[in-house]
Amino acid sequence: MADCLFCAIVAGDVPAQRVAETARTLGFRDINPQAPTHVLVIPKDHYPDLAALAAADGLLDEVAALAHKVAEDAGVSEAGYRVVFNTGPQAGQTVFHAHAHVLGGRPLGWPPG
């Protein structure tokens, strides 16, 4: 999709530190990490938010599976990690290409801010 930052990362037009990939999904480091491990896992095709991603056949499963693989590869899966989809402006979604934040490597407070 034109003018979408994460579509540009998928295309290689914007550089990113890629850490994991499947045919339909991509994981790359967040540019402003909020934890020692902070990776964004996205579908390579453009879906604006979680609802649109959930309506795509099996794709949300693949995003979740890659999020878990990222946590395992980072060595944070046993201690525990968090997967977050900020959805909509009030939840802090700023990039409207659906993405899962994978956060780990430090204690994560609850409730979140």
Residues that bind ligand 5GP (CB under 6 A): 5, 14, 16, 28-32, 40, 86, 92-95
The binder of 1, among Zn ion, ligand 5GP, none, by C-beta within 5 to 8 A per type, is Zn ion
Q: How far apart, in whole angstroms, are the C-alpha atoms of residue 3 and residue 59?
A: 23
Phi then psi dihedrals of residue 18, to 5 deg: -80, 135
Cβ proximity of 58 and 21 under 8 Å: no
Which residue, 90 or 94, is less far from ligand 5GP as judged by CB?
94
The binder of 28, among Zn ion, ligand 5GP, none, by C-beta within 5 to 8 A per type, is ligand 5GP
Residue 107 exposure: Cα atoms within 13 Å on the Cβ side: 3
Shortest Å, Cβ 17 to ligand 5GP:
7
Cα angle for residues 47, 51, 55 (degrees, 5° grid): 80
Chain contacts with Zn ion (rule: CB under 5 A): 1, 4, 6-7, 46, 97
